[in-house]
Every structure is written in C-alpha cells, then in structure tokens.
Structure 1
Amino acid sequence: MAAKRPDLVTIADVARHAGVAVSTVSYVLSAKRTISTATRERVLASIATLGFRPNAGARALASRRANVIALVLPLRTGMHLPIVMQLMTAVVTGARGHDHDVLVMTADEGPAGLRRVADSSMVDGVVVMDVEMSDPRVPFLRELRRPSVLIGFPADARGLTCVDLDFHGAGARCVEELVALGHRRVALLGAPAVVYARGTGFAHRTRAGFLAAISALGVSGVAEPCEEDRSSVSATLRDLFRAHPGTTGIVVHNEAAVEHVLTLLPSMGRRVPRDVSVIAICPDEIAARTRPALTSVSIPAEELGRQAVSLLMAKLSGATPSEATLLAPALTVRASTDHQR
C-alpha cells in the first residue's frame, strides 16, 4: 500500500502506528499531560516516520480549541479601505504570531452574524471593528461565552475589552497645536455624513475632542462632515470660507479627502501653510507623501491590531486584561503648518 502524503497523515494514523490512543498523541503534541519517556519517544518516532505535520485540526484536538479567531469587519459606506486593510493585516499577522488563523466576516449582519459564528464552534474568540456609539452588537458581546475584543469604543464600554486610539484626545491635540501656532479660527473637516449618521465611535469622539478644545482654549471653530470626492470637498471648503472667512487652521479627519484639500486650497487663493495651516488625523504614510507633507496625528493601525490580538489571547489563556486601552495621540510636525502671520 502506497504511503500517504505527509499533509494527509492524521493524528489517528500516528496513534495506530505507535500503538497508542489518539489522546496520547495529542498529549505528546500539547505537553499538557506527563507521558512516559518510552511512550513519548515511540510517538515522536511515528511522527517522524509518517511525516506527520500537526495542523489546526490536531491542535484543536489537543487543546479543544479551533485555533481560529473571527475578525468582524462589516464593509460599510464611508469606510476608508486602505486603513481597514492595514488593521485587518495587523490582526492577521498578530494572530499568526500566536499560531491562530483568522476568519474575516465582512457582511453587515449585526448580532446575527456574531451569533452564527459563535454557535458554530468555528472560532475561539472574536475581534470586532467599526464600533458604533450605540452598537447593537454590544449586548450580545456581553453575553457571549467566547472572549471578544473591540477595536473601538461604544458609548457604554462596561464589561467589554476595548482598544483604540484616543480619538477625543486626537481632536483636542490638533486644536492645541493650531492655537500654539497663533491660529484663532479653526475648522474640522470630518468623516462623510453617513459615518456620523450611523454613530461610528471614532468620528464622534474626534469631533467631541475638537469642540471641547476650542471651547477650553477660547478660539472660534466649526466642525463639518466632509465627503470624499473632489467636487464635494471643493464645495465644503467654499462653504466654510464663505461662512467663516477668517479660518486659518484646518483639521482633516478624512483620509480620502486629504489630498483634495491640499490641492484645492491654493486654487482658492489660500496657500499652505502661509495662509492656512492643515493638520490631518491619518496614517503616517499618507501624511508623509503629500505635498506639502502633512503635520499629522498618526492612526497606529499596526499597533491597534497587535494589541487587540494580544488582549484576546490573554483572555483565552484565562487572564483578565484591562477593559480599556487607549493609545495616546502622537503629533508629528511637518510642512503643512506654520505660525499665523
């Protein structure tokens, strides 16, 4: 009889070859129970002879885990896909570092999707993205037997494990920088209107931080949603300067609109940074490649993904991690800001 391909050899084949129970092989693989030296060596010899490669199924048998986590990432209107992909890649890379695979769920199924995957025993835990202030998934996550971590914060985060950039602090930090440069009239061009309408947490928190800072620092400011296409950005800027002609500092929290803002301002007679200083809340690679390069508060997608996975793995191991992890906003000064003259 022809030998099996190594990738087709099962844990049962190893047990049969070594003359032991399947559970004994799993204990040798997982090291979760003491096995006699002679038996262990016999099992290892069979593994070597058959070319057995422990896979997800074998690990699951050994640990009663699927070694898979779910990433719940509903793709919705107004989401900036490059950022989404960075976060997803960071979660996948982090999971692989813990010997886990990732099941990505992109359909906008709400609590029903979470229930379906949790009830199937396909995953050990769940990472949830695009969190809303009044997220309908939150009550189910509190009752879910499997551990979960949210990248983002709902309005009420009690009983949940959440990690995110401190977007409230990011909005405030941008205002503080502009005011330190002498600007007295500032504006926030935020996410598309649909993002605010569905209550997405990061957008509302940035806006709240921006408004709180202008009030605390005694400057004038306005916060407006901003669409992503060039014509809409142009209309938003024209409306802004028509209603608030003295605006000299702009914060952009809309990655897709950033380059449009920078190219449209000179056509409106406002040079960057001589006439208008611009700060963005966006990934560093976006800020560094624009002309002029943007002063920015970085969105640390890689760190967010890594921390989310680490928190989930800690919960899987029985630990009780901190419920709230907020990454402090870091502002990098580049060429798009200048002292108001």
Structure 2
Amino acid sequence: MVTIADVARHAGVSSSTVSYVLSGKRAISEETRNRVRNAVQQLGYHPHAGARALAARRSHIIALMVPLRTDVYVPVMMEIAIAVTVAARQHGYDVLLITNDEGPDGVRRIGASGLADGVIVMDVEMDDERIPVLRAQGTQATLMGLPADTRGLSCVDHDFVAAGAQCADHLADLGHREIAFIGYGSGVYHRHAAYAERTLAGFRDRAEQRGVRFLHRSCEGTYESTAGTLARILADRPATTGFVVQNEGAIGPLLTLLRTSGRTVPEDASVIALCQDQLAEQFAPRLTAVTGSAQELGRVAVEQVMRRLSAVNDGGRPVDDMVLLTPTLTVRESTGPAPRPA
C-alpha cells in the first residue's frame, strides 16, 4: 500500500509538503505542486479517508437526498445523481445517497452524525419541511429546486416558469387557441412540488397574455389515466388542438390515443412535451420538446455546495446563491399550424 512517505520520496519533498499540497492549507509553488501531483498519479496514492477526515474535521462526502416516489420519472433522477457523483469526484468528494422518505429526520441524522460535509436536496417542495432543519443545524446545503423561501441556502433549478411560457408561446405562435396542459398526478400538486407548480404558473400566465384558452388536467401517466384525462379534455373543450405534456409517462399513451381517435399529429393536434431530448426522439412523430440539462444541474449543485464549504473552512460566511438554468425549445415533427375550423 502506497503511503504519503512514498509519495514524498518519489517527488523529492517532505511528507508535510505532500500533505499541504493535498489539503491546500498552505501556499506551495506551482513546480512543487506539479511534482507531488505527478507522484500521486504515478504511484496510485489514495489518502486514507478516516485519517483525512480526522485531520481536516471533514468527511469529504456529500449527501444527496434523492426522491423515491412512484410519481417521479426515475431515469432523469438517476441522470442527475450520476452528474452529481461525477462532479463531486472532481473535487475529491464521494456521494452518499439518502432517500427522501426520511424527510427532516434524514437531514437531522446527517447533521448530527457528521457523515457528510454538505447536502444536496432534490425534489424540493414550495414549503419543504427539510429546509427549517437545514437552517437550524447550519448545514451547508444546495437545493435542486426553488422553494418559496430561499434564505440561508443556495438553489439551482431549471427555469420552469420560462419553460411553461415557452410551451404557451410556441403553440400560440402556430395559431392554436385551445390548449390543454396535461400535468403530473394529483399527488405532485398536493405536496406542492416546486417544478410542477412553477411550470404550470409560467404556462398559465403566458397563455393568458396571449389570449389563449386553456385548461389543466392532472394525470397519473398510465394508459388508463391518460385515456380518461383526454376524454375529459375533449368533453370540456372539443375544439382543443394543442397539448402540453409535463408527465413523461403520459406522452406515449397520448400519442396513441390521439391516433386511434382519428386525430393526426401534427395536422389535427400538436403535442409539445417537457422532457429530455433522448426521450423526445424515441416517439413517432419525434416530439417538439422543452428540455434542460441534467448534467449541468448536477454540476452547478456541486459547485454551489463546494463554495459554501470553502467559505466556512476559511472562516467566512457562505454566500446564498440562486441559479436558474435556461430551458431549450427544440422544434420537431409533433407541432404544426393549428388546423382551420371546419
């Protein structure tokens, strides 16, 4: 097993110099740092996690609270979790996964045990019960989501208000005047998930500005629930020609149901989805979609929590930071001009 003394001999420096280079606690010349880093890489040296934590009073671990719910789209959540893990490793940190079913108790456990230096919280609600605990404990945290009150925390999220507005603008520009918004299941709105409420608010406000009639219907995402949702939409608004879908599970059933009801996409009905590009490309026709980068979301969240930790370690006060990532609209084959009235 390679030791710090082996690295020091290989680099031609003292063991304390190697320690300073690895910890960053003292200024070391660029030439010396490069020699030490090269020695570390060539010898395959890995600092002992326990010793490093005791010496620095840090665990070099970030806790990531991931949602385990039936009403979330798991592939996107896993993509974000992978992005966080990759970004954390670039800072010499590992990631500890905590499930959101632990709620405030999970946050208390992490803070009391010292298992992690900081926390990244996913699936944030508008009045999230975990936030008061984070503030009370002084835990350095980043929220992936925008709650009603962001004081004392850093936040990063896709700009879901802008995403909803983009959907309304795109269909309005194509001449659609009757639009249906098919959202998540009722449980998502009942718990006030920030991403769902902000998207709907952005869509609603822009549709009203554009003089577009619209309705919102929640949907569980199964074929049966999508069929019931579409039937209710057409019963209430038979002239509906535009559909916005913010429920990945409902996309495939909706396209099938429109086709079997004699409505051709996009000639008779236009469909725009809020989903990742790889999912939008899987359907026929390929979906016009508003997307946001899961990789960028994970990277920014890690950078935010690292800045907070660095400020504390330097004896300073962390800066509350809020970043909203701009969504991207990609036009494909599922949207077109509104059909002329018969």
* Residues 23 and 188 (structure 1), Cα distance of their counterparts in 2 relative to 1, 3 Å cut: same
SS at match of 2:85: helix
> Which deviates further from its counterpart, 314-323 or 226-235?
314-323
1:248 Cα deviation (Å)?
Answer: 0.4
> Which deviates further from its counterpart, 235-244 or 313-322?
313-322
5 Å-filtered alignment, 1:215-294, equals 215-294=208-287
> Which deviates further from its counterpart, 53-62 or 311-320?
53-62
* Residues 259 and 95 (structure 1), Cα distance of their counterparts in 2 relative to 1, 3 Å cut: same
2:191 corresponding residue in structure 1 = 198
1:87 Cα deviation (Å)?
Answer: 1.0
SS at match of 1:245: coil
1:60 corresponding residue in structure 2 = 53
Per-residue deviation, residues 275-305 of structure 1 (Å, max 9, x unmatched): 0000000111111121111101003211111
* Residues 138 and 322 (structure 1), Cα distance of their counterparts in 2 relative to 1, 3 Å cut: closer
1:299 corresponding residue in structure 2 = 292
SS at match of 1:174: helix
Following the alignment from structure 2 to structure 1, what is the Cα–Cα distance between the partners of residues 304 and 21? 28
1:202 Cα deviation (Å)?
Answer: 0.5
1:131 corresponding residue in structure 2 = 124
1:203 Cα deviation (Å)?
Answer: 0.6
Residue 299 of structure 2 is aligned to residue 310 of structure 1: no
5 Å-filtered alignment, 1:42-57, equals 53-57=46-50
* Residues 33 and 160 (structure 1), Cα distance of their counterparts in 2 relative to 1, 3 Å cut: closer
Q: Is the 8 A contact 1:159 1:323 kept in 2?
A: no
Following the alignment from structure 1 to structure 2, what is the Cα–Cα distance between the partners of residues 294 and 51? 47
Following the alignment from structure 2 to structure 1, what is the Cα–Cα distance between the partners of residues 44 and 58? 23
SS at match of 1:334: coil
Give the partner amino acid of 2:47: P
Give the partner amino acid of 1:191: Y
1:77 Cα deviation (Å)?
Answer: 3.0
> Which deviates further from its counterpart, 185-194 or 153-162?
153-162
Per-residue deviation, residues 114-160 of structure 1 (Å, max 9, x unmatched): 01011111111000001011111111122232310000011122222
Following the alignment from structure 2 to structure 1, what is the Cα–Cα distance between the partners of residues 101 and 171? 38
Give the partner amino acid of 2:153: L
1:111 corresponding residue in structure 2 = 104
1:52 Cα deviation (Å)?
Answer: 5.6
Following the alignment from structure 1 to structure 2, what is the Cα–Cα distance between the partners of residues 54 and 188? 53
1:58 Cα deviation (Å)?
Answer: 4.0
Q: Is the 8 A contact 2:304 2:321 kept in 1?
A: no
Following the alignment from structure 1 to structure 2, what is the Cα–Cα distance between the partners of residues 215 and 186? 11
* Residues 107 and 156 (structure 1), Cα distance of their counterparts in 2 relative to 1, 3 Å cut: closer
Per-residue deviation, residues 204-258 of structure 1 (Å, max 9, x unmatched): 1111111111211111000111111111111111111111000000000001111
Identity among equivalent pairs (%)? 49
With normalisation by structure 1, the TM-score equals 0.86
5 Å-filtered alignment, 1:170-185, equals 170-185=163-178
Q: Is the 8 A contact 2:292 2:326 kept in 1?
A: no
1:3 corresponding residue in structure 2 = none
Residue 323 of structure 2 is aligned to residue 330 of structure 1: no
1:62 Cα deviation (Å)?
Answer: 4.5
Mark the runs of 5 or more structure 2 residues left unpaired by the alignment: 9-13, 312-316
* Residues 321 and 287 (structure 1), Cα distance of their counterparts in 2 relative to 1, 3 Å cut: farther
Mark the runs of 5 or more structure 1 residues left unpaired by the alignment: 1-5, 16-20
* Residues 22 and 236 (structure 1), Cα distance of their counterparts in 2 relative to 1, 3 Å cut: same
Following the alignment from structure 1 to structure 2, what is the Cα–Cα distance between the partners of residues 290 and 81? 19
Residue 142 of structure 2 is aligned to residue 149 of structure 1: yes
Following the alignment from structure 1 to structure 2, what is the Cα–Cα distance between the partners of residues 233 and 248? 17
Following the alignment from structure 1 to structure 2, what is the Cα–Cα distance between the partners of residues 85 and 119? 27
1:270 Cα deviation (Å)?
Answer: 1.1
Give the partner amino acid of 2:228: A
1:340 corresponding residue in structure 2 = 338
How many residues get paired? 321
Following the alignment from structure 2 to structure 1, what is the Cα–Cα distance between the partners of residues 15 and 112? 26
Following the alignment from structure 1 to structure 2, what is the Cα–Cα distance between the partners of residues 205 and 313? 27
SS at match of 1:317: helix
Give the partner amino acid of 1:173: Q
